[in-house]
Chains A and B, each alone.
Chain A
């Protein structure tokens, strides 16, 4: 196990360098002019302004020189400076990651919690009305694009009913809690500010539902299918024949086996949510990595684009590793080598 982990971790930097190289080349080949995000379109014909901006951002160097310089800096942990924010990309990502992580965790809790519950209900009531309703709900979650469901939920619960707050992590007048973890819900609790905790939680709810709805769909279907497989196993029949309560049969025996494949899905879903919160963050003005990625791509902000891609790569590599380890841990029959 230790050797396996060492090998996997050792390969990660090489994979990330490969990802960075690929994105570097692809973004540079895009027929677009990043200078417009640096100096604005009004000065694109001003030779002095253009020359100064190109020199300041290293865009006057030949592409191979830019590549070597970027890779040298990257190896030293320097992701460059964003054209748009004018700050080191690493600082931007560190500042924005907690917002995305908070949203992702909340979406995961909603998605997995509801997904497992609905999956169990559907399996226990196979082909019944509850099964059909649960599967329909799951289907909608998997099918609806986040920007549409986000806008609809915002319109209904914020604009019309005024039950939930609008976009953003807090009300416009509120001051964010002093940063400890960067999670507003956690930090407000740690500061003992319950009203701010409530505010942050209610702001989190709608985007988390929108993001988590897709997860509900995936997990519901997976848990339902796995449970139905388990229900056909002999040990379940034996348990029932021995007079065990149905709850015990399902929760204690069948569920444990049925949840194994869910571990894989949940781990990958986490990485998917982390990097795929782009639309949800945009709709809800959520200042996380997703909205940063949108701005970066719109402005052809090369350093930010590569930085976000590397972060996504790290997320997938780490969750992949975590999944393998967790799987082995959950099922001792599996040996990693």
Chain B
């Protein structure tokens, strides 16, 4: 009798098992084929009518009271409508949305909104003043990153279903633009509350629910969100206004600008909005349209005398640094020439920026200032977050800054770090020379003063530990109490000049935005409040 070795028996068994597995799979696949029509909603294909956007998503939350990111602006605008919209023709004029009209007292402390009686949420229920009150009180109560936008609200009254009366704790002429900010979108309060939403962070349990569901009145609803992969929106077919053109919108996680371009050129996606100048260069042809538009985003240098190791950064030295920078070269190096220098921390196009002289290099004056200050050959720590935002690579930008400053005898020790490390350092020891970016939340210039000025309590006054500038605080108070556009423009210009004189925030580049899309996509735009309004897009 021939005895088959154990190992051979095992191999034979394995071969049979593998054959069985393959056969089983094919049988199940064949059975599945019969059911294809019934499973088509969950399997494969995808809608060819869908609008696909390639983006590096930075979503921190889909809870409307906690969301705060560029992609969140797009999502919020599509799903949660605000009371006031923005006319995309000029990116300044406020237009009715959920509110058909609004009025304020001359002191800019009381605002009354009349809601559109036709407005309904996606579930068909009516948008009422109670929803507005709940939404804004929740935004304030949960203390998310956008809560500062409702920080000035003292009380919200709801005399009837269609009227909202807001009283502020101080004059705020920026309130209407703030109401236009996408983060002030209105939530279906009954639906949200039924799923754990409250206005108290200790009891609110709705954030996870909002990752898979939406409760807005916008032209789209949330279909699905897979973190790190995609965000899918469905058209709100019961939308009370003009319905969106696309039945579905897919925002696909595509961090690489090169891949965004490749997928756009191949027709795999319809829109790519995060292309840097070098990636967008040379894109042409009948299938793709690229429009270069000015943006309101900017990258800046920040100088701190009170940071550990920053003692040499006296006002004169800071001014020398501002004068030593070659701004046109910085625009070339960081944005491939597709951008502008920016005079003050208020970006070009906002109130208070007309007539300000563009920053210019003056090496002789810079050297003279340093000589007068007795500063020669100093070395400063330049820790900065290792980022690439709006097409600007911070390492490249800082290398150019390093080169420019070396010419006047200031040496920078470049130290790129992750932003969490950077945040820890700037919050403790401070950083003598660093770099960061800013994009607007709404269309009013006050947000820049509230962030960049040295008035008490602003972000950069805190980070640089600079003595509070009461004059800037007073000027901002006057600007916020003024309705007159000309007067406000003059006041913000004065504030801009004052922030330039601080020599703390030095804008490096205001990069242009490249709106790249398939040629059959119409309605491409860039919105100051909302980034991109999906309902305005169509396929021709």
A interface with B by C-beta (< 8 Å): 30-46, 48-49, 51-53, 55-56, 84-88, 92, 95-96, 158-159, 162, 166-169, 171-175, 177-178, 186-196, 252, 256, 285, 287, 291-292, 295, 298-300, 330, 332
> In the assembly, what is the distance between CA of A32 and CA of B417, in Å?
10
Q: How far is the CB of A36 from chain B (nearest CB, A)?
A: 4
Q: Are B423 and A191 in contact (CB under 8 A)?
A: no
Given contacts A41-B436, A45-B459, A188-B44, contact A87 B208 (CB under 8 A): yes
Q: How far is the CB of B366 from chain A (nearest CB, A)?
A: 29
Task: Indicate if B34 sits at the interface (CB-CB under 8 A).
Answer: yes
Selecting from B89-97, B254-262, B288-296, B307-315, the interface stretch reads B254-262
> Within the complex, which residue of B45, B68, B144, B255 is in contact with A175, where a contact is CB–CB below 8 Å?
B45
> In the assembly, what is the distance between CA of A38 and CA of B208, in Å?
15
Known pairs A45-B458, A159-B258 / 12 extra A-B pairs, C-beta < 8 Å: A30-B421, A31-B425, A36-B419, A38-B60, A41-B423, A49-B148, A55-B202, A85-B227, A178-B43, A191-B42, A196-B45, A287-B226
Q: Which residues of chain A are within 8 angstroms of B422 by Cβ–Cβ distance? A: 36, 41
Q: Are A192 and B36 in contact (CB under 8 A)?
A: yes
Selecting from B103-111, B263-271, B508-516, B524-532, the interface stretch reads B263-271
> In the assembly, what is the distance between CA of A95 and CA of B228, in Å?
11
> In the assembly, what is the distance between CA of A299 and CA of B39, in Å?
38
Q: Are A167 and B256 in contact (CB under 8 A)?
A: yes
Q: Are B420 and A298 in contact (CB under 8 A)?
A: yes
Q: Are A189 and B226 in contact (CB under 8 A)?
A: no
| Nearest B residue to A34, CB-CB | B420
Q: Which residues of chain B are within 8 angstroms of A85 by Cβ–Cβ distance? A: 211, 227-228
> Within the complex, which residue of B33, B259, B424 is in contact with A32, where a contact is CB–CB below 8 Å?
B424
Selecting from B24-32, B177-185, B351-359, the interface stretch reads B24-32
Q: Which 4 A-B pairs have the closest CB atoms?
A: A192-B32, A178-B42, A52-B143, A196-B44
Within 8 A of A (CB), among B456-491: 457-459, 462-463
Q: How far is the CB of B50 from chain A (nearest CB, A)?
A: 6
Q: Are B52 and A196 in contact (CB under 8 A)?
A: no
| Nearest A residue to B436, CB-CB | A41
Q: Which residues of chain A are within 8 angstroms of B376 by Cβ–Cβ distance? A: none
Q: Are A193 and B44 in contact (CB under 8 A)?
A: yes
Q: How far is the CB of A332 from chain B (nearest CB, A)?
A: 7
Q: Are B255 and A285 in contact (CB under 8 A)?
A: yes
Task: Indicate if B197 sits at the interface (CB-CB under 8 A).
Answer: no
Q: Are A55 and B201 in contact (CB under 8 A)?
A: yes
How many B residues have CB within 8 A of the partner chain?
Answer: 77
Q: Are B44 and A195 in contact (CB under 8 A)?
A: yes
Q: Are B268 and A173 in contact (CB under 8 A)?
A: yes
Q: Are A32 and B252 in contact (CB under 8 A)?
A: no
Task: Indicate if B418 sits at the interface (CB-CB under 8 A).
Answer: yes
Q: Which residues of chain A are within 8 angstroms of B208 by Cβ–Cβ distance? A: 86-88
Q: Which residues of chain A are within 8 angstroms of B44 by Cβ–Cβ distance? A: 174-175, 177, 188, 191, 193, 195-196
Q: Are B201 and A52 in contact (CB under 8 A)?
A: yes
> In the assembly, what is the distance between CA of A189 and CA of B229, in Å?
22
Given contacts A41-B436, A44-B459, A46-B148, contact A178 B39 (CB under 8 A): yes
Q: Which residues of chain A are within 8 angstroms of B202 by Cβ–Cβ distance? A: 55
| Nearest B residue to A177, CB-CB | B43
Name 26 interchain pairs, CB-CB below 8 A, sorted by A: A32-B420, A37-B420, A40-B68, A44-B423, A46-B459, A56-B201, A85-B211, A86-B66, A168-B229, A171-B46, A173-B52, A175-B42, A175-B45, A177-B42, A178-B42, A190-B25, A190-B32, A192-B35, A194-B29, A285-B253, A285-B255, A285-B259, A287-B229, A292-B228, A295-B228, A298-B420
Q: How far is the CB of A181 from chain B (nearest CB, A)?
A: 11
Task: Indicate if B137 sits at the interface (CB-CB under 8 A).
Answer: no
Given contacts A95-B226, A178-B39, A193-B43, contact A332 B6 (CB under 8 A): yes
Task: Indicate if B48 sits at the interface (CB-CB under 8 A).
Answer: yes
Interface string of B223-242 (1 = CB under 8 A from A): 00011111000000000000
Task: Indicate if B451 sits at the interface (CB-CB under 8 A).
Answer: yes
Task: Indicate if B142 sits at the interface (CB-CB under 8 A).
Answer: yes
Q: Are B60 and A166 in contact (CB under 8 A)?
A: no
Q: Are A173 and B47 in contact (CB under 8 A)?
A: yes
Q: How far is the CB of B142 from chain A (nearest CB, A)?
A: 7
Q: How far is the CB of B231 from chain A (nearest CB, A)?
A: 12
> Within the complex, which residue of B47, B145, B211, B424 is in contact with A43, where a contact is CB–CB below 8 Å?
B145
> In the assembly, what is the distance between CA of A162 and CA of B266, in Å?
9
Task: Indicate if B7 sits at the interface (CB-CB under 8 A).
Answer: yes
> Within the complex, which residue of A32, A86, A291 is in contact with B423, where a contact is CB–CB below 8 Å?
A32
Q: Are A42 and B268 in contact (CB under 8 A)?
A: no
Q: Are A192 and B31 in contact (CB under 8 A)?
A: yes
Q: Are B207 and A86 in contact (CB under 8 A)?
A: yes
Q: Are A172 and B250 in contact (CB under 8 A)?
A: yes
Task: Indicate if B54 sits at the interface (CB-CB under 8 A).
Answer: yes
> In the assembly, what is the distance between CA of A187 and CA of B460, in Å?
52
| Nearest B residue to A39, CB-CB | B145
Q: Are A189 and B32 in contact (CB under 8 A)?
A: yes
Q: How far is the CB of A8 from chain B (nearest CB, A)?
A: 23
| Nearest B residue to A50, CB-CB | B143
> In the assembly, what is the distance between CA of A36 and CA of B50, in Å?
34
| Nearest B residue to A85, CB-CB | B227
> In the assembly, what is the distance between CA of A31 and CA of B424, in Å?
7
| Nearest B residue to A36, CB-CB | B423
> In the assembly, what is the distance between CA of A168 and CA of B250, in Å?
14
Q: Are B142 and A32 in contact (CB under 8 A)?
A: no
Q: Are A291 and B25 in contact (CB under 8 A)?
A: no
Q: How far is the CB of B251 from chain A (nearest CB, A)?
A: 10
| Nearest A residue to B51, CB-CB | A173
Q: Are A173 and B250 in contact (CB under 8 A)?
A: yes
> Within the complex, which residue of A31, A167, A188, A192 is in contact with B254, where a contact is CB–CB below 8 Å?
A167
> In the assembly, what is the distance between CA of A174 and CA of B207, in Å?
28
Task: Indicate if B427 sits at the interface (CB-CB under 8 A).
Answer: yes
Q: Which residues of chain A are within 8 angstroms of B46 by Cβ–Cβ distance? A: 171, 173-175
Q: Are B250 and A33 in contact (CB under 8 A)?
A: no
> In the assembly, what is the distance between CA of A92 and CA of B230, in Å?
14
> In the assembly, what is the distance between CA of A285 and CA of B421, in Å?
25
> Within the complex, which residue of B34, B61, B462 is in contact with A45, where a contact is CB–CB below 8 Å?
B462
> In the assembly, what is the distance between CA of A256 and CA of B6, in Å?
12
Q: Are A40 and B145 in contact (CB under 8 A)?
A: yes
| Nearest A residue to B68, CB-CB | A40
| Nearest A residue to B268, CB-CB | A172
Q: Which residues of chain A are within 8 angstroms of B451 by Cβ–Cβ distance? A: 42
Q: Are A49 and B227 in contact (CB under 8 A)?
A: no
Task: Indicate if B147 sits at the interface (CB-CB under 8 A).
Answer: yes
> In the assembly, what is the distance between CA of A42 and CA of B462, in Å?
12
Q: Are B28 and A189 in contact (CB under 8 A)?
A: yes
Q: Could you say which of B35, B207, B254, B420 has the most chain A C-beta atoms within 10 Å of its C-beta?
A: B420
| Nearest B residue to A37, CB-CB | B420
> In the assembly, what is the distance between CA of A330 and CA of B5, in Å?
12
Q: Are B418 and A189 in contact (CB under 8 A)?
A: no
Q: Which residues of chain B are within 8 angstroms of A187 by Cβ–Cβ distance? A: 43
Given contacts A39-B145, A171-B268, contact A299 B61 (CB under 8 A): no
Q: Which residues of chain A are within 8 angstroms of B457 by Cβ–Cβ distance? A: 45
Q: How far is the CB of B277 from chain A (nearest CB, A)?
A: 19
Q: Are A49 and B147 in contact (CB under 8 A)?
A: yes
Q: Are B144 and A39 in contact (CB under 8 A)?
A: yes
Q: Are A33 and B423 in contact (CB under 8 A)?
A: yes
Q: How far is the CB of B86 from chain A (nearest CB, A)?
A: 21
Given contacts A36-B419, A285-B259, contact A168 B252 (CB under 8 A): yes
Q: Which residues of chain A are within 8 angstroms of B60 by Cβ–Cβ distance? A: 37-38, 40, 84, 86
Q: Are B7 and A256 in contact (CB under 8 A)?
A: yes
Q: How far is the CB of B458 from chain A (nearest CB, A)?
A: 8
Q: Which residues of chain A are within 8 angstroms of B142 by Cβ–Cβ distance? A: 52
Interface string of B181-205 (1 = CB under 8 A from A): 0000000000000000000011000
Q: How far is the CB of A308 from chain B (nearest CB, A)?
A: 13
| Nearest B residue to A52, CB-CB | B143
